[in-house]
């Protein structure tokens, strides 16, 4: 059962055996290779070099083994920490009295060196804001959806042959080494046919995915920095969660190669941070102790203009 596996991997009071966790670094019959179109896009290695798999036990669950250039990883980490964590996006810290007034969390953390505050940000929502109590989206609770995140998911959707994609809601999850995310399904979107794109950066997650029912058994997999998980088809409504964050076995964000980056216009200031070791340091330090997950969804159905 999902619950039992979750408890097992979460446990700190016993030695946990990770040998059954699906590992993209190992050749395994549990993964089926998928061929994709040949394209290029900012922040990624050319798609003909990508390793894309479907998880045999979970049809529709696709995983792209870190397709990012190291600069690409830095880019999204900077966006999540410096920009997607800011007002007017909605954050968990908004509803806590002591932190509710903080507009620019990242700047305050860096100016004050407040490590406690750094750990307080657990999520932020972009576009349609997920109401965690009612589990509904509404037109009244919506902010602009970032264009770069919109475009990167359009690109991925096209490369993977899912067709047109319109990213309209995202949850950015910020995890520390002791954070977990309990089992849930993502079913609030009127459009449940469109895939969900999940990007991982920083430390490694043990990701658990069961079936459509809580009682179904779960499989586990490592999500490392740069890996992209796509929940589509039959896996879109499966129970899933993160019982554990473990230390990364490599840190691809640490060094950058000077390859030409085909940067979309308007984001040059982000690229400047990625390429300047001094400016990058505080972001790199964060990733050394944390994991960031960008979880992107299409909310509306094809011909629907609003909720
Ligand atoms: O952090 C992850 O890998 C999963 C996050 C997730 O399931 C969610 O935000 O709904
Ligand atoms: Fe989820």
Q: Which atom of ligand 1 is nearest to the CA of 241?
A: 7
Q: Which residues on neighbouring strands pair with residue 31, listed in sequence order?
A: 55
Nearest ligand for residue 206 CA:
1
Give CA–CA dist 194/23, Å, rounded: 26
Cβ atoms within 10 Å of 246's Cβ, excluding its own: 17
Asked if residue 92 belongs to a domain, the reply is yes
Position in ligand 1 atom list of the atom nearest CA 198? 3
Q: How far apart are CA 64 and CA 61, in angstroms?
A: 10
In this prediction, residue 264 carries a pLDDT of 73
Mean per-residue pLDDT of the chain: 95
Query: How far does the centroid of ligand 1 lie from the alpha carbon of residue 251, in Å?
Result: 21
Q: Distance from the CA of 246 to the center of ligand 2, in angstroms?
A: 19
Q: Are 103 and 91 in contact (CB under 8 A)?
A: no
The reply to whether 141 sits in an annotated binding site is: no
Say if 305 falls within a structural domain.
no
Q: What is the mean pLDDT of residues 188-206?
A: 97
For the chain, the domain total comes to: 1
186 has binding-site annotation = yes
Note whether residue 306 is domain-resident.
Answer: no
Would you tell me how many other CB atoms lie within 10 Å of the CB of residue 275?
14
Q: Note whether residue 286 is domain-resident.
A: yes
Whether the per-residue pLDDT at 212 is higher than 90: the answer is yes
For residue 295, which atom of ligand 1 is closest to its CA? 9
Would residue 149 be called left, alpha or beta, if left means φ above 0 and alpha means ψ between -120 and 50 degrees?
alpha
pLDDT at 249: 96
Average pLDDT on 233-244 reads 97
- What CA–CA distance (Å, rounded) separates 260 from 110? 30
128 alpha carbon – ligand 1 mean position (Å): 16
| pLDDT winner (highest mean) among 21-30, 145-154, 255-264 | 145-154
Q: What is the mean pLDDT of residues 281-298?
A: 98
272-288 pLDDT per residue, tens:
999 999 999 999 999 99
8 Å CB contact between 297 and 166: no
pLDDT at 175 over 80: yes
**Confidence band (pLDDT; 50, 70, 90) for 261?**
low
**How would you class 264 by CB atoms within 10 Å of its CB: exposed for 0-12, middle for 13-18, buried for 19 or more?**
middle
Cis peptide before 88 (omega within 30 of 0): yes
For residue 287, give the 3-state DSSP assignment.
Answer: helix
Pocket (CB within 6 angstroms of ligand 1): 171, 173, 181, 186, 198, 205, 207, 223, 240, 242, 293, 295
Is 304 inside a domain boundary?
A: no
**Distance of alpha carbon 247 from alpha carbon 263, whole angstroms:** 31
Q: Residue with structure tokens 């950058």?
A: 256
Q: Is residue 82 part of a domain?
A: yes
Domain that holds residue 222: 2-297
What local confidence, expressed as pLDDT, does residue 258 receive? Answer: 64
Ligand 1 atom nearest 207 alpha carbon: 3
Residue 303 lies in a domain: no
What pLDDT score does 201 carry? 98
Q: What CATH number did the domain enclosing 49 receive?
A: 2.60.120.590
Is 249 annotated in a binding site? The answer is no
Q: 107-156: per-residue pLDDT in tens?
A: 999 999 999 999 999 999 999 998 888 888 999 899 999 999 999 999 99
Q: How far is it, in rounded angstroms, from Cα 202 to Cα 289?
A: 8
Other CB atoms closer than 10 Å to residue 54's CB: what's the count? 19
Q: How far apart are CA 259 and CA 286, in angstroms?
A: 24
The answer on pLDDT for 262 being more than 80 is no
The two structure tokens encoding residue 19: 């040998």
The pair of structure tokens assigned to 87 is 């007002």
Q: Is 212 within the bounds of a domain?
A: yes
């Amino acid at each position: 059962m999902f619950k039992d596996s979750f408890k097992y991997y979460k446990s700190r009071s016993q030695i946990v055996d990770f040998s059954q966790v699906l590992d993209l670094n190992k050749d395994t019959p549990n993964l089926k290779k998928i061929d994709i179109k040949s394209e290029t896009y900012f922040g990624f290695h050319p798609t003909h070099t990508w390793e894309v798999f479907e998880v045999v036990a979970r049809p529709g669950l696709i995983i792209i083994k870190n397709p990012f250039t190291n600069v690409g990883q830095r880019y999204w980490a900077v966006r999540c920490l410096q920009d997607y964590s800011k007002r007017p996006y909605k954050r968990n810290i908004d509803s806590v009295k002591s932190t509710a007034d903080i507009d620019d969390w990242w700047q305050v953390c860096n100016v004050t060196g407040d490590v406690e505050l750094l750990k307080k940000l657990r999520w932020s929502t972009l576009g349609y804001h997920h109401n965690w109590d009612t589990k509904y989206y509404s037109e009244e609770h919506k902010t602009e959806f970032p264009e770069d995140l919109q475009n990167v998911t359009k690109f991925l959707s096209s490369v993977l042959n899912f067709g047109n994609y319109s990213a309209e809601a995202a949850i950015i999850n910020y995890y520390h080494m002791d954070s977990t995310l309990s089992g849930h399904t993502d079913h609030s979107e009127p459009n449940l046919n469109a895939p969900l794109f999940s990007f991982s950066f920083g430390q490694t997650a043990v990701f658990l995915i069961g079936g459509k029912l809580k009682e179904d058994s779960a499989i586990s997999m490592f999500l490392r920095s740069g890996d992209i998980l796509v929940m589509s088809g039959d896996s879109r409504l499966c129970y899933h969660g993160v019982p554990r964050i473990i230390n990364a076995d490599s840190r691809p964000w640490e060094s950058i190669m000077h390859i030409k980056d085909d940067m979309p216009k308007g984001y040059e200031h982000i690229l400047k941070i990625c390429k300047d070791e001094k400016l990058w340091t505080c972001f790199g330090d964060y990733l050394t102790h944390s994991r960031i997950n960008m979880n992107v969804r299409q909310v509306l159905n094809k011909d629907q203009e609003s909720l």
